[in-house]
Amino acid sequence: MGWKEQRKTSGFSRFLYLLIILAAAYGTTSAAYGGETKGAVVVSQPAAAQRNAYATMMYMGTPRDYEFYVAIRVMVKSLARLRVDADRVVIASMDVPLRWVQALEQEDGAKVVRVENLDNPYKDQSNFDRRFKLTLNKLYAWRLVEYDRVIMLDADNLFLQKTDELFQCGQFCAVFINPCIFHTGLFVLQPSMEVFKDMVHDLEIGRENPDGADQGFICGYFPNLLDRPLFHPPPNGTKLDGTFRLPLGYQMDATYYYLRLRWSVPCGPNSVITFPGAPWLKPWYWWSWPVLPLGISWHEQRRQTLGYAAEIPAILIQFAIYVGIITMTRLARPSFSKICYRRSEKNISFIQTGLKVIAVWSILASYVVPFFIIPHTVHPLIGWTIYLFGSFGLCSIAINAFLLPMLPVLVLWLGIFGSLLVMAFPWYSDGVVRALAVFGYAFCAAPFAWVAMVKIMACLQVSLEREAFFPKLGESSPPPGFNKLY
């Protein structure tokens, strides 16, 4: 190995060392993917029985079960970090893995209540979304009769401060983030077996439900909430009776934040952020930031609570594989190119077309494959770093195999990196300016992408026309001094 290769290998080693340091900074005690953490610090249950509870639900049967498991753990731990004066309850279906239940109880200090899934009678509606099939398990919150009040939560809530004053609200309280329909991502209830049985009866008789999920059912069960007064916590700490609307500050829709890149909610404290938008842009996904700026706030809470020890081994393995790919493709470049450009006497035009298609698809795959194999809930800085490094590593295969110039192949790579910088720029005045900046960047970058594609195709054509100079595999090279004129 020459001194150039040794210097490249040394550079890769230093980069790997820096990545391990970054991983250690973000890693804290947590269970590995579906595994149990040995030696973890056990958080003991509160000694005194609590009168109130923060509750959420967990069920299985979706492709994103693990992501929601992580989100629930982060929310439970963040509530503990805020020192809320209430139990933290997880209503878990019977098919939730036992190791997850143990992690919630022993490591996170949550109280897990196991339940059978409620049958959804609306699953055959034409407008029914299959991912909401088991959300009616939320009705089990009314069975928690050992508590005076329960705040029922979805996993995609981000708490900025504790909201214990909500336990003073009445029998049912919710926020209207939609002008006419309240949101069931956070609501306050007084547990009651009578109410629970009545709800189950309504399920059995098929009460009308516009969306077939918990949102439509609960909104139909409390149809007059819009006409109820706004909740204001009594200063003496007493509990109210009746139903109330909650101020918007208890359930701030992240969509509103992106318009002005700041909060402007004058009614009630700015306490809880919710993310009810597209399911693949939830804040725990590494690609959600800087596409959606609030994603980094959720990951900051995870860094302070659960940590990233579960994902770091997979990240380090991927990084090592990409280092190997870059090194091997560079060292094997001469032999690699001979395999791709072997001479053929028949169907030369068909072979040239096929090689062009393979080259283009290999470049596209270099940008797609790393995206899907990175652990979804890793920190965005680590996720984007390994994505860019992985796409660079896989692009090196196409560059060295087809003898392509590096810069045109990496134009898309540079464009993605630049778009991340544009979106992460912290000094936009509002969301509209940010959106215009992203659009302007894409408009300016498009011609460069087109020129790069033209350059790649031209280089491929030149290499294919030159392919006759490569010998067939197993064919001996012509002797020195050989000339076709003799």
| Rounded Cα gap, residues 307 and 74, in angstroms | 9
The one-character DSSP state at 103 is: I
Residue with tokens 């949102």: 215
Looking up tokens 């929310």 gives 75
pLDDT of residue 106: 96
Task: Report phi then psi at 118, rounded to 5.
Answer: -75, 135
Number of H helices, E strands in the chain: 15, 10
Tell me how long the chain is.
486
SS3 152: strand
Q: Which domains occur in the chain, in start order?
A: 52-307 (3.90.550.10), 311-337+347-468 (no CATH)
Checking 428-436 for CB contacts under 8 A at 24+ apart, the result is 428/261, 429/261, 430/259, 430/260, 430/261, 431/257, 431/258, 431/259, 431/260, 431/261, 432/259, 434/261
Model pLDDT, residue 48: 56
What's residue 333's pLDDT? 66
Q: Are 323 and 16 in contact (CB under 8 A)?
A: yes
Q: How many whole angstroms separate alpha carbon 402 and alpha carbon 404? A: 5
**pLDDT the model gives residue 279:** 85
Angle at Cα 92 formed by Cα 90 and Cα 93, nearest 5°?
165
Whole-model pTM: value is 0.82
Task: Kindly list the distances between the CA atom of residue 232 and the CA atoms of 13, 120, 139, 268, 352, in Å, as whole numbers in the listed order.
Answer: 59, 35, 26, 8, 74
DSSP 240-293: P-SEEEEPGGGSEEHHHHHHHTS----SS---EEE--S-GGG-TTSTTHHHHST
Under DSSP, the state recorded for 410 is T
pLDDT of residue 128: 84
CA–CA gap between residue 386 and residue 374 (Å, rounded): 8
At 81, the amino acid letter reads: R
Q: What is the pLDDT of residue 467?
A: 54
Q: Where are the alpha helices (DSSP H) in 32-114?
A: 65-81, 98-102
What lies within 8 Å, CB to CB, of 150 at 6+ separation is: 52, 53, 54, 55, 89, 141, 144, 188, 189, 190, 191
How far apart CA 272 and CA 284 sit, in angstroms, is 16
Print pLDDT tens along the chain (486 aa).
443 444 444 444 444 444 444 444 444 333 333 333 333 333 334 445 689 999 999 999 888 999 999 999 999 999 999 999 999 999 999 999 999 999 999 999 999 999 999 999 998 888 888 888 999 999 999 999 999 999 999 999 999 999 999 999 999 999 999 889 999 999 999 999 999 999 999 999 988 898 999 999 999 999 999 999 999 999 988 999 999 999 999 999 998 888 888 887 777 788 999 998 788 889 999 999 999 899 999 999 999 999 999 999 999 999 999 999 999 887 876 665 555 555 555 555 666 677 778 888 999 999 999 999 999 999 999 999 999 999 999 999 888 888 888 999 999 999 999 999 999 998 999 999 999 999 999 999 999 999 999 999 888 877 766 654 444 444 444 555 444 443
C-beta of residue 87 within 8 angstroms of C-beta of residue 104: no
Q: What pLDDT, on the 0 to 100 scale, is given for residue 403?
A: 82
172 closest CA partner among 186, 193, 156, 154: 186
CA distance 238 to 397: 68
Q: How many CA atoms lie within 13 A of 37 on its CB side?
A: 25
| Bond preceding residue 290 cis, omega within 30 of 0 | yes
Q: What is the 3-state secondary structure (H, E, C) of 107-118?
A: HCCCEEEEECCC
Q: Identify any residues that bridge with 190 across adjacent strands, giving them in sequence order.
A: none
